[in-house]
Amino acid sequence: MSTRVAIAGAGGRMGRMLLNLATAHPELTVTAAFEVTGHPVVGEDIGVLAGTKPSGATVTDDAAAALAAADVVIEFTLPEPSLDHLRAAADAGCAVVLGTTGFSAEQQAEIDALTTRMAVLQASNMSVGVTVLTQVVEDVARRLGPTFDIEIVETHHRKKKDAPSGTALTLGQAAARGRDANLAEWATYGRSGIVGERPDDEIGVMALRGGDVIGDHTVYFYGTGERLELTHRAQSREAFASGAVRSAAWIARRPPGAYAIRDVLFGEA
C-alpha cells in the first residue's frame, strides 16, 4: 500500500525538490502540501508545482488538514513553525521526517517528548554520504586515539541562519563518542586572542559563510608528521531531499519513537 506523504514549506527550493522526488517515488503518494498563509503557491496544484502532471490536489495553508491526510510529513522549515507542525502531527498520528536545524535546547526537549506519541526521524543532514561519514568519523577518532587533534570546518552559503551547522555538530558528537567524551565539554567554537596551547581534550568547530555554497564539511585529524582529512561536499540539495524521501518511505508505519537516518541505512540500533 502506498504511503501518503505531506510536504511542509512546499513553496521553497527544498520543498519543491521534495515534491518532485516524492511524486516520483514508487512507494509514496503526495496527498498534501502546505505553506504559510499568503504564500504565492497556496492554491496551486501540487502536481504542477512538483513539475509533473496536475494532481487535482492543491497547496493549502491549513497544516492540520494537510497532516490529517498523510501518514508522514517531511519537514524542512524553521524551528518555530516546525515545532507547531510537530505538535499538529502528534495530534494527527502522522510520522515526521525532520530536517530542520537550529533548535534550542528547550525546543529539542519538546521534540524528544513528542516522540513518545509518534515516530520522528530527525537528522541534521539527510545526505546518505554524510550519514556514512558520521559513522566513519567516530571509528577513526576511536582508532587514532588521543595523540591526534580533531578540528571540524564547515562552509555554507551566506544566507544560512544558524552556526555552526547541525551537521558540523553531529560530526563533532561522533568524534567525541570515539574519544569517550562529551562534545559540550570539549567543543571550542572559534578562537581569538592569546588562547594558549591547544589542550588534548578539545574539538574545534569552525563555521565559514559565503556565496552560494550548499554545504561542505571536513573533519581533520592532526597527528605528529601526518594528518587525515575526511570531507563531504554537497553539490546539490537533491542529496538532502533524496535521503529525506527515502526516510519517509521507511518510517511511515514505525511505532512511536526517535529515529535517525542511520537506522534507515544500517538498521535500528
Q: Is 53 a known active-site residue?
A: no
Out of 85, 156, 217, 232, the active site residue is: 156
Catalytic residue among 160, 161, 217, 232: 160
d(CA 43, CA 52): 16
**Which residues, in sequence order, are CB contacts of 196 under 8 Å at separation 6+?**
none
**Counts for the chain of helices (H) and strands (E), in that order:** 10, 11
- CA–CA distance, 52 with 29 (Å, rounded to integer): 13
> Using omega within 30 degrees of 0 as the cis cutoff, is the peptide bond preceding 256 cis?
no
d(C-alpha 264, C-alpha 250), whole Å:
7
Distance in angstroms (rounded) separating the CA atoms of residues 237 and 244: 11
Say whether 160 is catalytic: yes
CA pair distance 209, 217, nearest whole angstrom: 12
Catalytic positions are 156, 160
